[in-house]
Amino acid sequence: MFTRGEAFVWLTGSAMGLCLVLVFGLIFVIVINGMGMFWPHQVTEFKLKEGPVYVGIHTRSEVVKDEQGGKLERYQVKVGNRESGADFMWMDVPKVEAKAIPKDVIVLERFEYGDFIGYVSGFQQDGVLVPGADAKALLAEKLPQAQEAFKKVSHIQRGEMENIATKVNKLKLRKDKLAKATSDKSQEIAKLDAQLAVLLAENNKHSARILDLNKDPARYGLVVKSADGVERVVPMPNIVRYYYPNDMSFFQKTGHYGAKVWEFLFAEPRESNTEGGVYPAIFGTVLMTLLMSVAVTPFGVLTAFYLGEYAKDGIFLKLVRIAVNNLAGVPSIVFGVFGLGFLVYGVGGGIDRLFYSDILPTPTFGTGGLIWASLTLALLTLPVVIVATEESIAAVPRGVKEGSLAMGASKFQTILKVVLPASVPGIMTGVILAIARGAGEVAPLMITGVAKMATELPLDGNAPYFHPERKIMHLGFHIYDVGFQSPNIEASKPMVFTTALLLLVIVLALNIVAIVIRDHVKKKYRTGAF
């Protein structure tokens, strides 16, 4: 067995097998937990022997030791209704007297206090119960109107009002400057005041419109009753969506699932990130990774070409190579500290003093932002690109380079026309590795430009359209924040898995794009004769 080398096959094979098991295990756990989050789970009514009744979603069971040392099974149940206590509870199985699945149970997703699970009992208009009304039908009728109004309001706030706020800030700054001036500027100040007044009037108009839009939905409220019999009123504007989980067909459930996935991907977070969507985080992650690639590729490639083509062999070159390789092993938080000290405070602070001195001490570039986070990551992934590029340059056959030189090409022409195209696939491999490393990095981002909540995207419709100084949200940080910084760990757990799954998918997608480009280039510039 040893002489034939079969033992080694087994050894290497089992190492690979173990790797696969671990990787697939991780992916399996993330996929199973991440995909299930949006499915409308069945709601059960638990009647306890001691009297109280609960309705909730049975999330999991576990077996613990009871006081006598025996085994005790208990359920974890999501009962919702956070305003009246914890929304998760443990229920000892022996104490449950009866379980039922009531058809008419409703789940309300709300803007505040998370989900409500209970029963519909009436409909309110202007604070008065509508007598004899079909509450469910009224809910179905009035909620879309409220949602429509909400959409319009946020549109106004995001667009026009934000625009006005920016303009007002600018004018106020100019006014302050003029007020400090020694010569008499009262005429100009008056002009500015007039402009400000116009803007303010416009702003008031929008505010009035918002009030008007909000007025109608606020008149209506749904009266609901929780399992313990307490009635409460949920006003229309507070409802995100509602569903009757025990009375849905498979297709309704699928539709609900689709709507929730859509919301997750394209909406903003709610309830300190534990509900709603992660659109700003997706946007931030992708944009930051792309910016990082754009920054790291030319920088790394140029460095590698100097090392591989121009630098004379010697002790200095060896030292540089060792340094580059060691850079890859530096803990990422160290890069973060460097980014904060050098990029944010040094470079960013300098930019502020030069170009934004009127609004100091409020920093513009002198605080964490997209551009600094991207550049920090570019620095972090630089060794990967340099090493991959150097290797691919070295793989270009010497004969091909000589052929070019013998044709009367200069060294620069040879590099540009022969060596660079032939090493593009290798460079792309480096960029792919850099993306994989960069997209999953969290620690250095926390201090160079990622925020828990940043709904103002770095790309928007307000001039100058691209705002590299803005803070961004990031999926990796989102996972950390929701999973470990949230006050309600149980409620945020599904969100952690789903976000992790999404991050995996995004890294995979970015990589696939890069791989497709690389293969396309490879076909074009295949090297190696014979």
Q: Which region, judged by CB under 8 A, interacts with other proteins, from 42-50, 195-203, 404-412, 433-441?
A: 404-412
CB of 511 to other proteins, least distance (A): 25
Task: Give which of 147, 169, 150, 146 is closest to 158, Cα–Cα.
Answer: 150
Nearest CA among 501, 332, 301, 521 for reference residue 415: 301
Between 410 and 455, CB nearer to other proteins? 410
Rounded CA-CA distance 3/17 in Å is: 23
Q: Which of 127, 131, 408, 487 binds other proteins (CB under 8 A)?
A: 408
Q: Which of 434, 433, 421 is nearest to 392 (CA)?
A: 421
Torsion angles phi and psi, residue 458, rounded to 5: -70, -10
Structural tokens at position 164 = 């006005």
The piece of 81-89, 315-323, 399-407, 479-487 that touches other proteins (CB under 8 A) is 399-407
Q: Tell me if 79 sits within 8 A of 89, measured CB to CB.
A: yes
Q: Which of 295, 422, 454, 500 binds other proteins (CB under 8 A)?
A: 422
Cβ proximity to other proteins, 55 vs 418, nearer residue: 418
Candidate residues 189, 405, 436, 453; the one interacting with other proteins per rule CB under 8 A: 405
Taking CB under 8 A as the criterion, the residue among 26, 397, 455, 515 binding other proteins is: 397
Residue (315 or 406) nearer to other proteins, CB: 406
Torsion angle, alpha carbons of 342, 345, 351, 352, to 10: 180
Report if residue 417 touches other proteins, rule: CB under 8 A. yes
Q: Is 211 exposed, middle or buried (0-12, 13-18, 19+ CB in 10 A)?
A: exposed
**Count of positions on this chain that bind other proteins (CB under 8 A):** 25
Does 404 help bind other proteins (rule: CB under 8 A)?
yes
Least separation, in Å, of the C-beta of 526 and other proteins? 5
Q: Is 527 in the site for other proteins (CB under 8 A)?
A: yes
Q: What is the largest CA-CA distance in the chain?
A: 99
List C-alpha distances in Å: 517 to 321, 381, 429, 503.
28, 20, 10, 21
Cα distances (Å, whole numbers) of residue 29 to 21, 486, 498, 501: 12, 21, 11, 10
User: Three-state SS for 153?
Assistant: helix
Q: Which amino acid would we find at residue 158?
A: R
- Range 311-340, binding other proteins (CB under 8 A): 313
Report the nearest approach of other proteins to the CB of residue 442 (Å): 40
Q: Using the rule CB under 8 A, is 410 a contact of other proteins? A: yes
CB 219 within 8 A of CB 233: no
Q: Which one among 399, 485, 512, 519 touches other proteins, defined by CB under 8 A? A: 399
Q: Per this entry, what is the length of the chain? A: 530
Compute the distance between CA of residue 135 and CA of residue 103 in angstroms, rounded to an integer: 16
The neighbouring-strand residues paired with 354 are none
Please pick, from the candidates 102, 235, 349, 421, the single residue that binds other proteins as defined by CB under 8 A.
421
Nearest CB to other proteins, comparing residues 425 and 476:
425
Q: Does 519 bind other proteins (CB under 8 A)?
A: no
Residue placing its CB nearer to other proteins in the complex, 172 or 520: 520
Which of 315, 529 has the CB closer to other proteins? 529
Stretch that binds other proteins, among 93-101, 176-184, 341-349, 412-420 (CB under 8 A): 412-420
Q: Taking the complex as a whole, how short is the minimal distance between the CB of residue 388 and other proteins, in angstroms? A: 18
Residue ranges binding other proteins (CB under 8 A): 313, 397, 399-400, 402-410, 413, 417-418, 421-422, 524-530
